[in-house]
Amino acid sequence: MIGKINRRKLLGTVAGGAAGAAFPMPFISRAWAAEPILLGLPTSQTAAAGVADDLDHLNGTTLAMEEINAAGGILGRELKLFVTDVDKLSAESCQQAIAACIDAKVHAISNAFLFVPIPAMDESAKYKCPYVQGNTQRAATEAFRSDPKKYSHIFQTDPSEVHYGYTYPLWLEHEEAQGVWKPKNRKVHIIQEQVAYCQTISKAAQKAIKERGKFEVAAVTDIQFPVQDWGPVIQKMKEVDAAAIMVDHWVAAEYAAFCKQFRADPVKDSLVYMQYGPSQPEFLTLAGESANGFCWSTVLGIYADERGMKYRKKYQERFPGIMGLVYTGNGYDIVQYLKLAWEAVGDPSNFKAVCDWIRTNPYRGVCGYMDMNNNLQEASHFPDNGYEISATELEKGMSQLYVQVQNVEHKIIFPNEISESKLQPAPWWG
């Protein structure tokens, strides 16, 4: 887990807009001349899903808040956080979390993601403060496209999940062309979880594999959260014996269990990819050395360039321990993006003007380039995979990061523009 700060203590210090003395905040003695600017954070605290990601998001947001207030605030005003609990899998809870932010009269809402985003979006439309998040869902941005007036205030700071599927065969082809992977056959085996998010990814991958024509989908196997035993799934993998295996799931702890069980009885010479979940800190904590050789990716993550590495160092000084590579950066970037918008407009209460500024002014953060000025109001994806809202240049889009666990560390292996390493042979190869 990230950091040694007790989660309950951390939440207690920021919930309800209170900046308590549990951590060293240099701004607490400052005499602020105006009412604080309030940022709402729906954050999973008690539900089963999303706690690790939301703690990452809260930590990154907290770090940005501390830096901003130490430097004099925004427009001479203190930035405070309003944290409210949310169950990401419950439509009612998502709606209630946004309603709580509205009742608190926040100036903006920042959120990692919700699995049922539309009810939350509908609730926020009654208020229309900037709602800036990393939902990663095309269904949500399609809702904006269908009614841009209603959802004009909602910004998705990362590319949608469809790009996980669209880019997957492009990555396979790249590794083969590099000579670091020699597929034993042309088969792909997809293991898919049942939430809509994972289903969308699976369908996009199947479509892209068929259209590109270099590989074929040999089998699709369903799993259901929570996965208690990976044995039957691994047996099916061995029967299909595909060169490439995509495990389309999202829970770090269950991925860690999969790695341990797979290593005990592997599908020899298969390239195994797990979608997103290993980005969560508990994955490496739980999987340890059994994670070595497995690959994963995220459409939103902290780059390993100079800016990204500087932020990683700063974050780990504030929150020691294994660092998540996704929402730790996104939470930080969202606050910095909002700060620029609030300062440019001069009035955080002028929601429309702030949203108009965000829409027309891209921002380059530690997680890459965010440009909201398109018909889905989501960040463009890099590398260009031939589908909607994708960029041909690194600094014109947000790069998907393909990562391999090497020596119990995450190393970016694709795309080449920001890679740290190359794909290494997995322990079960050859």
> What gap in Å lies between CA 231 and CA 161, rounded to an integer?
28
Residue 33: per-residue pLDDT: 65
385-408 pLDDT, tens digit per residue, is 889 899 999 999 999 999 999 999
The conformation of residue 19, written as its DSSP 8-state character, comes to -
Phi, psi of 343 (to 5 degrees): -70, -35
Residue with tokens 């130490």: 70
Predicted pLDDT at 9: 39
Max Cα distance, the chain (Å): 69
pLDDT for res 24: 35
Q: Give residue-wise pLDDT tens across range 343-399.
A: 999 999 999 999 999 999 999 999 999 999 999 999 999 999 889 899 999 999 999
Cβ-proximal residues to 149 (8 Å cutoff; 6+ apart), any chain: none
CA dihedral (279, 285, 287, 292) in degrees, to 10, reads: 70
User: Do the Cβ atoms of 381 and 397 come closer than 8 Å?
Assistant: yes
Between CA 384 and CA 395 the distance in angstroms is 12
- Cα–Cα distance between 430 and 424 in angstroms, integer? 12
Superfamily name and number for 7-160+304-382:
Response regulator (3.40.50.2300)
Question: What's at 37, amino acid-wise?
Answer: I
pLDDT number for residue 323: 92
For residue 21 the two structure tokens come to 């003395």
Judge contact between 25 and 345, C-beta under 8 A: no
Cα separation, 273 vs 183, in Å, equals 14
Ranges of the chain with pLDDT below 50: 1-29
| CATH code of domain 162-298+400-418 | 3.40.50.2300
Beta-strand (E) ranges in 200-346? 216-222, 244-248, 271-275, 295-298
- Dist CA 362 CA 272 (whole Å): 35
Judged by phi (left if over 0) then psi (alpha if -120 to 50, else beta), residue 311 lies in alpha
What 3-state class would DSSP assign to 329?
Answer: helix
Q: 10 Å Cβ neighbour count for 241?
A: 17
162-298+400-418 and 7-160+304-382 share a CATH fold:
yes
50: left (phi over 0), alpha (psi -120 to 50) or beta: left
Q: What is the pTM of this model?
A: 0.90
Token readout for 96 is 């209630």
Question: Domain spans of the chain?
Answer: 7-160+304-382, 162-298+400-418
Range 181-198 burial, b when 16+ CB lie within 10 A, else e: bebbeebbbbbbbebebb
Classified as helix, coil or strand, 178 is helix
Question: Residue 195 has what pLDDT?
Answer: 87
State the pLDDT at residue 49. Answer: 67
pLDDT of residue 28: 37
